[in-house]
Amino acid sequence: MKHRSFLLIALLVAVPLLGSCDVEKSDLNIRKISRSVAYSLPVFHLNQLPLDENISTNAFNLFIDSLDPSRSYYLQSDIDTFTEEAPMLAKRLHKGDISFATRAFDVLMERIENRIAFTEELLEKGFDTSADETFLWDRQETEWVETEAEWNELWRKRVKNEYIARLVSQQVYANEEEVETNTVDSAETIVTNIVADAEEEYDEEAEDANLSPEEFILERYKQFKLTMKTFDEEMLLQRYLTAFSHVYDPHSDYMSPSSVEDFDINMKLSLVGIGAMLRPDDGAARIVRVIPGGPADQDGRLKAGDKIIAVAQGDDEPVSILHWPLYKAVRLIRGEIDSTVVLTVIPASDRSGTRTKLIDLVRDEVKLEEQAAKGEVKEVDLGDGNTRRLGVITLPDFYADFSATSNNEKDARRASTDVRRLINELMLEGIEGLVLDLRNNGGGSLVESIDIAGLFISSGPIVQVKERRGVQVLPDADPEVNYDGPLIILVNRLSASASEILAAALQDYKRAIIVGDKQTHGKGTVQTLMPLGGERRGSLKLTTAGFYR
């Protein structure tokens, strides 16, 4: 895959950038980013479609659907007002004007406030659960509601459906708890000791089970409102520009600076931080899981369920992150290696939320090993008293540290390097066959797919790539074969892109038997990540080629 960088010249046109709204400002140059995207889409995308009124109208529809996919908040009158602007959005994008996005978002927030208040009224009145009614939960293809009466009826059925679902869920949870209680038996003392040692462990399901259906539903809607209120310019810009990109094809996106950072982390399987997975919760950043081997794990004080409410850099004053977009909180928690971050935390064990503690951690590199290739040996019983030793390599993604690879760094993290190492280790274990598990592998680096195919064949073409300039055959040029024994490749419907290239090539070379679902995902395009110039402008992930066997 060719990794190209584009520096785009911005035209200086004085236009309003954003309408007046409650969306938090960012440090992004919205005008330059928007105009760069408007220029790049028709020029560099494989289809080379003009950014015209047709694209504009389709982008409008995708954007509105992304804000209200269930068609439950906006009214038909809102859509009618918005539609008047739809054909002009592309022309405005060329000028760097995305003010429509903020106006549409402002209206959405008004509607959310209205519906949450109405939901409270419904929950106070209660529901007749004996009535025979139907609720259509998938409303993507339905019409927008026109009157307030239709709107209220839709929401009455929606909330009633959630109420009944909650009653059922509570009953199922209660039954599971009863089964677990009845099967404790003589192990009760051991279980008690385990619980005592983990008194600060957080059980979200158990906590939710204590809420009444009314409390549970209202809490979820209030949490949704808080999450939507954390939308800032960067998040809204990504949503809006991605709508335009998706008109060209569903695999093209605008990636904000924060999304590019996350993409790089996922591809190189490492980051510098504390080693914890977070999610928004009541305005705070809640710890979902502590990553094994990271600073937080080694320190031992930070627990799943703890809520981070403020962050300080070393001896600096703490900065409150309450009601921040999660990505901004994460950015504040990450930092330079060997630097100190001090977290103000509400412990998971404090249900009142009134007690806080300070946890200081030294940032370090965190390896995301759970997303890396893994190998193991399985003894397979043949049923006749004999067994076979099979090696199994599970590959979740075709990852690669692009920066380190392009700089020819010896220890650059690559999927092909890991798979080669695992093959050698398994062969030392005396395996008699190998299974390469590509199930749920959505793809990744095209180069890694080619290099991994080369581990099983001497040399030859792997895939054809058709760009605008013509067809290019991408081969494995390395004659070395790392494994020439029996090979099975496991796939399913979620095996896509680079997974399909690898499986198809090894099938065509008669090197592997493909086992799994009748068909794989069927993604046949190649994307190129194009920086938009400048540190805080993000990148366009554009489809620039199609691939063929």
Q: Which residues contact 32 (CB under 8 A, 6 or more apart)?
A: 10, 96, 532, 534, 537
Identify the CA nearest to 166 among candidates 135, 222, 231, 212: 212
Number of residues that make up the chain: 549
Neighbouring C-alpha atoms within 13 Å toward the C-beta of 183: 6
Identify the CA nearest to 491 among candidates 512, 516, 518, 521: 516
Rounded to 5°, the CA angle 33-35-39 comes to: 115
- Find where tokens 């994008």 sit: 93
Q: Which residues make beta-bridge pairs with 365? A: 272
Distance between CA atoms of 47 and 54, rounded to whole angstroms? 15
pLDDT at residue 195 tops 60: no
Per-position b or e across 19-28, b if 16+ CB within 10 A of its CB:
bebebbebeb
Q: Region 193-201: what's the mean pLDDT? A: 32
- 284: tokens are 């705070």
Asked if residues 329 and 311 have their Cβ atoms less than 8 Å apart, the reply is yes
Asked if residues 75 and 144 have their Cβ atoms less than 8 Å apart, the reply is yes
Q: What is the pLDDT of residue 26?
A: 61
Identify the CA nearest to 28 among candidates 218, 341, 183, 260: 260
- Find where tokens 């059922």 sit: 168
pLDDT digits over 245-284, tens only? 999 999 999 999 999 999 999 999 999 999 999 999 888 9
pLDDT digits over 236-255, tens only? 999 999 999 999 999 999 99
Identify the CA nearest to 437 among candidates 422, 459, 454: 422
Rounded to 5°, the CA angle 369-374-380 comes to: 150
Helix, strand, coil fractions of the chain, as percent rounded to 5: 40, 20, 40
DSSP per residue over 136-183, as a string? ----TTSPPP-SHHHHHHHHHHHHHHHHHHHHHHHHHHHHHHHHHHHT
Distance between CA atoms of 363 and 149, rounded to whole angstroms? 55
Domains of the chain by start residue, with CATH? 1-248 (no CATH), 270-367 (2.30.42.10), 369-548 (3.90.226.10)
Torsion sign over Cα 292, 296, 298, 301: negative
Distance between CA atoms of 440 and 422, rounded to whole angstroms? 20
Distance between CA atoms of 436 and 416, rounded to whole angstroms? 12
Of the two residues 487 and 173, the one the predictor is more confident about is 487
Q: How far is CA 413 from the centre of its chain?
A: 21
Q: What is the pLDDT of residue 282?
A: 83
Q: Which residues contact 169 (CB under 8 A, 6 or more apart)?
A: none
Q: What is the pLDDT of residue 183?
A: 40
Q: Region 137-141: what's the mean pLDDT? A: 88
Q: Of the given ranges (163-172, 425-434, 457-466, 494-503), which has the lowest mean pLDDT?
A: 163-172
Q: Is 522 left (phi over 0), alpha (psi -120 to 50) or beta?
A: left
Please tell me the pTM assigned to this model: 0.83
- 447: tokens are 């180069």
- 544: tokens are 């620039």
Q: Region 25-42: what's the mean pLDDT? A: 89
pLDDT digits over 371-413, tens only? 999 999 999 998 888 899 999 999 999 999 998 988 888 889 9
Element (H, E) at 254: strand 253-255
Mean pLDDT of the chain: 89
